[in-house]
A and B are shown apart, each in its own frame.
Chain A
Amino acid sequence: DGGITQSPKYLFRKEGQNVTLSCEQNLNHDAMYWYRQDPGQGLRLIYYSQIVNDFQKGDIAEGYSVSREKKESFPLTVTSAQKNPTAFYLCASSIGGFGNQPQHFGDGTRLSIL
């Protein structure tokens, strides 16, 4: 089955620690996205990548970093500079190129602070 796999489902971070969220897709999509979901705020774009080895900041990129070394993978690192990291993180992908392509989402990673 084609789809997007996010891991882990739950993640706990200690103060001052960096953590990395995994996102893998087997849909052969060019574009990939990371969103943060908080209650009452919808989905806010953190970073997106239109092609391998290239990525762009979204609306709330501060305190986060990404890489896109392979088409299938788009890991997100939540750094210690992100002061309020507790949220539900969603990864998505699309064929890319045009804004009217559906985005396919993974089932998310819930990050909490210990």
Chain B
Amino acid sequence: QQQVKQSPQSLIVQKGGISIINCAYENTAFDYFPWYQQFPGKGPALLIAIRPDVSEKKEGRFTISFNKSAKQFSLHIMDSQPGDSATYFCAASISNFGNEKLTFGTGTRLTIIP
């Protein structure tokens, strides 16, 4: 059972454009939603995270939008650059003590073209 569904599987965006990746979750107990960025041959690294008590979080060119009623959240990359080309994973977890497990989406391969 896939608890976090991510789309699209791949995305091509022109330099300077907006990249948008979407995720939907099923488990209403999830209350922490991070995004990880992975470059080829490397492990993922935390990019940005959000909790459901806010609808949006922005860090530089990266923004997470969160819709609790729809059980959806998305990553927006503004002014996309070739250096943003990577695979992006959304994830979800329950932040209670003893629940360290993350459930990951299937990933989106983003390519920024000049």
A residues near B (Cβ < 8 Å) are: 4, 6, 31, 33, 40-45, 48, 50, 58, 90, 92, 94, 96-108
Contacts and interface: CB of A to CB of B under 8 A. Distances in A.
Nearest to A41: B106
Given A40-B9, A99-B94, A100-B51, A108 B106 contact: no
Please tell me the size bucket of the interface on B.
Answer: 20 to 34
B46 interface: yes
Contacts of B94: 99
16 contacts: A31-B100, A40-B107, A50-B98, A58-B101, A92-B43, A97-B98, A98-B97, A98-B99, A99-B93, A99-B96, A99-B100, A100-B32, A102-B46, A103-B102, A106-B43, A107-B42
Q: From DSSP, what is the main secondary structure of chain B's interface residues?
A: loop
Contact of B6 (A42, A94, A102): A42
Contact of A105 (B32, B44, B93): B44
Contacts of B99: 98-99
Interface of B: 6, 9, 31-32, 34, 41-46, 49, 51, 89, 93-102, 104-107
Given A40-B9, A42-B89, A99 B43 contact: no
